Amino acid sequence: MSRETVLKLLRAREGRFLSGEELSRQLGLSRTAIWKAVDALRRDGYGIEARTGLGYRLTAAPDALTEPEIRNFLGETAVVGGALRCFDELDSTNTYAKQIALSGAPDGTVVVANCQTAGRGRMDRSFQSPKDKGIYLTALLRPDLPPERLAPVTALAGVAVCRAVERVCSIRPGLKWPNDPVLGNRKLCGILTELALEAETGRVQNLVLGIGVNVLQTPADFPPEVAEMATSLAMELGCPVSRPALAAALIEELDRLYAALKAGDLSGYLAAYRRDCVNLGKTVQIIGPAGRKTVDAIGIDGEFGLIVRHPDGAEETVRSGEVSVRGLYGYVE
């Protein structure tokens, strides 16, 4: 704990020196204990300058998905992020969130990992989660709502990701229906929502909402099977992006999403989704049990379904659980 409290006090000085004597007095620790805490922080990647007669000052912080770094950027939230569990490595943040849900982890608990060894996407596809490159984050929610009210959650999460990226990076991704944030016509992020229901009553027990964002990857970090369709914020912007700052923004946006979901007012999210959906006005392929069909994407209905027009002029609305959508010439186009 002394390490975290020393870091908090150094941060409060905003780059100015804080004497070892003052640190000792405020924390009730010996000068030796202060030195050990500073040494531990340096090993964690913090830049801390020490000068005789002046003390210590914080000069740099690591791009680390740790609780101190994320909370440094995190504003006040109502539910999501109240409890925050950070790991250097997990098999899957969704899997871990489901495990702790069974042991009573509270509503709004957020699980963050620096890498995943068994990251998953829709239909159990593998989601590449290399170390020190992305954000792999899951929110555990316990909404007192019927299952049908939760159907739009994944689409809402897509809007939340776009808002968080825009806040931190001043660039807004588009959304490939049903829920993939994209930049430069390539996939930036994966979203996986999993719902647990009580067998006898059908009552919602919990919902885990997993988000994986490609932040610092280079082209070499993507395996051949996804290299043509994936991108990262660093690749699109040409500069690095703070992962803890973006993780904090994601948590804040998920908290706003949760509040809107419980209030039943999704109008703002629906408007944003319609504006950001990159498929609208384009000819796409819908892929389902009956095979592939070429159609025009013409709208989004009130439940985030994709309205399409067939070559004969007939219109229908397709749902994400029924079909996938692909561009004719690439991931989006």
Q: pLDDT tens for the chain, 333 residues: list them.
A: 588 899 999 999 888 999 989 999 999 989 899 999 999 999 999 999 999 999 999 999 999 999 999 999 999 999 999 999 999 999 999 999 999 999 999 999 999 999 999 876 655 566 778 899 999 999 999 999 999 999 999 999 999 999 999 999 999 999 999 989 999 999 999 999 999 998 888 899 999 999 999 999 999 999 888 889 999 999 999 999 999 999 999 999 999 999 999 999 999 999 999 999 999 999 999 888 878 899 999 999 999 999 999 999 999 999 876 667 877 667 787
72 inside domain: yes
User: Would you state the pLDDT for residue 2?
Assistant: 80
Which are the contacts of 136, defined by CB distance < 8 A and separation ≥ 6? 90, 93, 112, 113, 114, 115, 116, 119, 129, 210, 211, 212
**pTM tops 0.85, yes or no:** yes
User: Would you state the pLDDT for residue 225?
Assistant: 86
**Residue ranges making up the domain that contains 50:** 2-60
- Same domain, residue pair 113 and 249: yes
Structural domain count, the chain: 3
As a whole number of angstroms, the distance between CA 247 and CA 67 comes to: 10
Write the CATH number for 143: 3.30.930.10
- Same domain, residue pair 156 and 199: yes
- Same domain, residue pair 158 and 249: yes
- Same domain, residue pair 183 and 149: yes
As a whole number of angstroms, the distance between CA 212 and CA 191 comes to: 7
- Same domain, residue pair 109 and 167: yes
332 inside domain: no
- Same domain, residue pair 11 and 135: no
- Same domain, residue pair 200 and 303: no
- Same domain, residue pair 81 and 179: yes
- Same domain, residue pair 106 and 243: yes
User: Would you state the pLDDT for residue 125?
Assistant: 63
Q: Which residue has the tokens 């909404």?
A: 143
- Residue 145 burial (C-beta neighbours within 10 Å; 0-12, 13-18, 19+): middle
- Same domain, residue pair 122 and 143: yes
Write the CATH number for 50: 1.10.10.10
192 inside domain: yes
Which two three-digit tokens encode residue 7?
């870091």
CA angle at 242 for the pair 236 and 247, rounded to the nearest 5°: 100
User: Would you state the pLDDT for residue 329?
Assistant: 67
Beta-carbon count within 10 A of 327 CB: 16
- Same domain, residue pair 193 and 231: yes
User: Would you state the pLDDT for residue 88?
Assistant: 96
Instruction: For residue 159, give the nearest of 132, 178, 143 by alpha carbon.
Output: 178
Residue 237 Cα distances to 172, 215, 217, 232, angstroms: 11, 10, 12, 9
Write the CATH number for 290: 2.30.30.100
User: Would you state the pLDDT for residue 170?
Assistant: 96
Which two three-digit tokens encode residue 94?
């969704």
118 inside domain: yes
User: Would you state the pLDDT for residue 1?
Assistant: 59
Q: Which residue has the tokens 């992006």?
A: 241
β-pairing, 186-187 with 84-87?
unpaired
333 inside domain: no
User: Would you state the pLDDT for residue 93?
Assistant: 96
